[in-house]
Amino acid sequence: MAHDSDAEDAKLLQEGRIDVLLAKYEPVILGRCIARLNGDLAAEDVAQNVMLRLLREFHQGKSYGETPYRVVVHQVVGWTIADHFAGRPTDVPLPDGWDPAGDNSNDEVAERHDLRRLFAALPDGTRRVLELRYVIGLGIDEIAEQLQMTRNAVDQALHRGHARLREALADG
């Protein structure tokens, strides 16, 4: 099933409107980086490097075939975050003529994705599972072992936690 905005993204990409595409995906990129890096200051740097990598690929004429641009964005975010955690450099040089001045909505995104604040409202068991998963980065089996729970109990806690976080983000 195609995402509603895939056709719009393809049209913008074809028209060379990378500025509009990057502006559209900036909150998503920053939100994922903040969530994965737990609000660490490095999250903004990683998000910037994702944006720069996408911009560089566009200027190099990279083609993604039939892959929707939203999928490309999420792949690049994942790769850049993985490089960050592996200690590989993620810095991308700024292109000539880059204007860093402008509207900065990072504070709003950072506040919305403040995991500590969001997790504080959860029941203790669910909060511990989510912290181990998203703050520490443990896998489901590792969480189950550490908390002496079954894998199914961890899955259920994650499901409950995700549902509550969706509600909290929708209300905020």
**Domain limit, last residue, from 52, 80, 104:** 104
pLDDT digits (tens, 9 = 90+) for 68-121: 888 988 898 988 888 888 877 666 565 566 555 545 555 555 555 567 777 888
Same domain, 25 and 78: yes
- Helices 140-147 + 151-171 axis angle, to 10: 110
Residue 10: inside a domain, yes or no? yes
Q: Say if 109 falls within a structural domain.
A: no
The reported pLDDT for the residue numbered 143 is 92
The tens digit of pLDDT for each residue in 33-83 reads: 888 887 677 888 888 889 888 888 888 888 777 888 889 888 989 888 888
Residue of higher predicted confidence among 25 and 109 = 25
Residue 135: pLDDT band with limits 50, 70, 90: confident
Contacts of 114 (CB under 8 A, 6+ apart): 39
Shared domain check, 139 and 93: no
Q: How far, CA to CA in Å, does 127 sit from each of 130, 135, 136, 142?
A: 5, 11, 12, 16
For residue 150, what pLDDT is reported? 95
Residue whose tokens read 């490089």 = 83
Residue 160, classed as helix, strand or coil, is helix
Does pLDDT of 2 surpass 70?
no
- Tell me: do 118 and 91 sit in the same domain: no
Residue that terminates a domain, selected from 46, 73, 104: 104
Within this chain, do residues 61 and 118 fall inside the same structural domain, yes or no? no
Which pTM was predicted? 0.52
Q: Which domain holds residue 156?
A: 114-171
